[in-house]
Amino acid sequence: MAADRIASLTLSHVVLPLENPVSDAKVLTGRQKPLTETVLLFVEVTTEQGFEGMGFSYSKRAGGPAQYAHLKEIAEVAIGQDPSDIAKIYESLMWAGASVGRSGVATQAVAALDVALHDLKARRAGLPLAKLLGAHRDSCRVYNTSGGFLQASVEEIKEKATASLEAGIGGIKIKVGQPDWAEDLRRVAALREHLGDTPFMVDANQQWDRARARRMCRELERFDLIWIEEPLDAWDAVGHADLSRTFDTPIATGEMLTSVPEHMALIDAGYRGIVQPDAPRIGGITPFLKFATLAAHAGLALAPHYAMEIHLHLAAAYPTEPWVEHFEWLNPLFEERIDIRDGRMWVPDRPGLGFTLSDQMRKLTVETAKFSA
């Protein structure tokens, strides 16, 4: 077969409002405003032979327009390249935007195109992406976060948790890290009593210093949690590593990190917890898989952050049993839904990621840019 070439790219800047604003500990500590929307960068790629792929990246509160602007500036270098040469294309995009570095917005913008190329490759093969990568399982354990934010009362969280479990979700995560640590413990105790032996996680969203984190981790040991997430600043690799070696309850972190080297700092510090890389944030599926190989070699458990439409496939290809985070927020953007039952999220049998863009996604598109040969 003759080599194929990328014939066209379409970039879409999409603003998806949330039904209700949500607050985590960063809001209660005054560091951020409530979250009201998710901003996404979609990329649709078409080849000369007629194959197609779709990928996306996202931001919360800030950075969405910057992602779109950056990829719009450099995307043209992918035109005419062989879509199978994903790593080569990635490098060419990195060099095209070299002056702004290789993390943060620079790689998050490229992530959308990188995901689209992996989607295209799997579609062309007629396989779900997980199968193309080499799946270890057809489903992954799933937990819900969207019902556990801090603006909700304990009773509201209980109701949402019950609804999630009845819908087939296997675990529940709630937010902690508010200024009144005693209130955190009261909420955790109330949810643990409500949930019984259901898998239960908490997320402090980086709001404790090292002393408070040690005290809170000690207090939280009695609740038999699956993990305590982001007890410290996301870039405090040494602090997270220390906590992971000190307490029986696993420590989880990594969702905010935006490059493989930033994630590797955890391993280099002796981290023994759960890693939570986010493909759109780390720069796409290409760097995600690079770090996943290193994490597996280090014996670390995996629980990717957000973007379940992408991460289900990547988690299914991880050697040890992972968790996938359920957020229904992006549902309006896609025609299909993921099968969730028996506490697990099931890999679609459709080729690629297994999703097509909805009419609602088109209506929510603020601007587009097109590139062609």
**Max CA separation in the chain (angstroms):** 65
Question: Across 145-277, where does the E strand assignment appear?
Answer: 171-175, 200-203, 227-229, 251-253, 274-275
The pLDDT assigned to 34 comes to 80
- Indicate the SS3 state at residue 242: helix
What rounded mean pLDDT belongs to the chain?
94
Q: Which of 121, 158, 240, 305 is catalytic?
A: 305
| Cβ–Cβ < 8 Å for 129, 122 | yes
Q: Which residues of the chain have pLDDT under 50?
A: none
| Cβ–Cβ < 8 Å for 86, 286 | yes
Task: Using alpha carbons, list the distances in angstroms from residue 19 to 14, 158, 328.
Answer: 16, 19, 11
The pLDDT assigned to 1 comes to 60
Q: What are phi and psi of 329, to 5 degrees?
A: -60, -35
Q: Using the structure block, give the residue that is written with the tokens 């990928």.
A: 55
Q: For this structure, is 158 an active site residue?
A: no
Residue ranges of the binding site for substrate: 24-26, 60-61, 173, 205, 325
The pLDDT assigned to 68 comes to 93
Query: How many Å apart are CA 235 and CA 155, to the nearest integer?
Result: 34
The pLDDT assigned to 295 comes to 97
| Cβ–Cβ < 8 Å for 46, 11 | no
- Indicate the SS3 state at residue 353: coil
Q: For this structure, is 194 an active site residue?
A: no
Query: How many Å apart are CA 315 and CA 301, to the nearest integer?
Result: 10
Look at residues 260, 365, 354, 261 and name the one whose alpha carbon lies nearest to residue 311.
Answer: 354
pLDDT tens for 278-324 read 999 999 999 999 999 999 999 999 999 999 999 999 999 999 999 99
Q: Which of 175, 240, 313, 326 is catalytic?
A: 175
Residue ranges of the binding site for Mg(2+): 203, 229, 255
Give the start-to-end residue ranges of the domains of the chain: 6-127+359-372, 130-346
CATH of domain 130-346: 3.20.20.120
Look at residues 370, 355, 364, 371 and name the one whose alpha carbon lies nearest to residue 119.
Answer: 355
Q: How is residue 222 annotated by DSSP?
A: G
Options 3.40.50.300, 4.10.320.10, 3.30.390.10, 3.20.20.210; CATH for 6-127+359-372 is 3.30.390.10
